[in-house]
A = this chain, B = another copy of it.
Amino acid sequence: MTWADDGNNPMIHFNGVTKDYDNQTALRDITFSVEKGEMIFVTGPSGSGKTTLLKLIYFAEKPDRGTISIAGWETGQLKESSIPFLRRNIGIVFQDFRLLHNKNVFENVAMALRIRGAGEKEIKARVYETLKAVNLRHKADVFPRRLSGGEQQRVVISRAIVAEPTVILADEPTGNLDPDTAEGVMRTFKEINAKGTTVLIATHNRELFRNSGRRVIRLDMGNLVAEDRT
């Protein structure tokens, strides 16, 4: 099952979405759309619900109210068995990295392709290519715990982009990167976006979207407080 390019649906559409955790509302009545091929930013203070919004998009959480549709698929009506196939169209840069600590850098990045059943030759070629793009080709055999914070973050970015997904969700992708490296990563995202991939970046690093001309969604305490173009 792949994502059919079915007409004029927006890539991501939230309609009145509310998400409650045990004793707290993380998102309240959120409505917004992301068009195909768009590059968009989500910002807001710590604990405002950015990560929760991303989790809703990749089905790690379910909305308590409202509807979400991803590339025309209504999340409420989705069969559980379809979830892995839908997720294969999404590349995720997790805020907490989620690296496999018992596998080296190469295998961590390769996992995204192995899960999709790619062949050994293709895996080798593409993994090394993306590692080169984030300047980590020389660390391919190292285990994650022996990497610096910024290096680990770049491995996560590699893994998110290696399978050339339709959508990329990046959660604070430059939190551990110096301004120069961060700029390099942003350039990579822009290149991928230019090829038609939808990119959504959650961050509080204002430098990333300052003067980019992209749309920015601002959250505060779970409310969508502003949607503007910088």
| Residues in chain A within 8 A of chain B (CB atoms) | 21-22, 43-47, 50-51, 95-96, 146, 148-151, 154, 171-172, 175-181, 204, 206
Contacts and interface: CB of A to CB of B under 8 A. Distances in A.
Contacts of A47: 148, 150-151
A95 B44 contact: no
Residue in A50, A154, A178 with the greatest tally of chain B CB atoms within 10 Å: A178
Chain copies in complex: 2
Contact of A151 (B21, B46, B146, B178): B46
A46 B177 contact: yes
B149 A51 contact: yes
Nearest to A95: B149
A177 B204 contact: yes
A179 B203 CA distance: 11
B46 A150 contact: yes
Contacts of A172: 149, 175-176
A179 B151 contact: no
A74 to B, nearest CB: 27
Contacts of A95: 149, 176
A100 to B, nearest CB: 15
Contacts of A146: 21-22
